[in-house]
Amino acid sequence: MTATGRHREQPCPYVTAWGRYLGSRDYYIEEQVAQAVVDGAPKDAIFKDTEGVWHTLADLQRQAPKLRAKLEAERV
């Protein structure tokens, strides 16, 4: 919590949710979140592909709406 009593918003919550969905280890998820911050990834980024492109929740909505709903529910 911040000094005002509000929770600080986590950067890239969907990167975290995606990592947990896949069963990734915490250290790996933390590395991915840090990379997303460094890269200036979109707020709704999920993962970075091998070509360096960050894929987003909007991309997932078009391709797999049920999975998007699950990530929305699990985000921190």
| Assigned domain for 2 exists | no
Cα 53 from Cα 45, distance rounded (Å)? 10
SS3 breakdown of the chain: % helix, strand, coil, rounded to 5?
55, 10, 35
The one-letter amino acid at 4: T
Q: 23 lies in which domain range? A: 13-74
Position 66 scores a pLDDT of 73
Task: Specify the number of domains making up the chain.
Answer: 1
Taking the alpha carbons of 54, 57, 63, 67 in that order, is the dihedral positive or negative? positive
Average pLDDT of span 67-73: 74
Cβ neighbors of 50 (< 8 A, separation 6 or more) are none
Q: How confident is the model at residue 1 (pLDDT cuts 50, 70, 90)?
A: very low
Q: Could you read off the pLDDT of 25-54 as tens digits, one per residue?
A: 999 999 999 999 999 999 999 999 999 999
Q: Taking the model in full, what pTM does it have?
A: 0.72
- Residue 36 lies inside a defined structural domain of this protein: yes
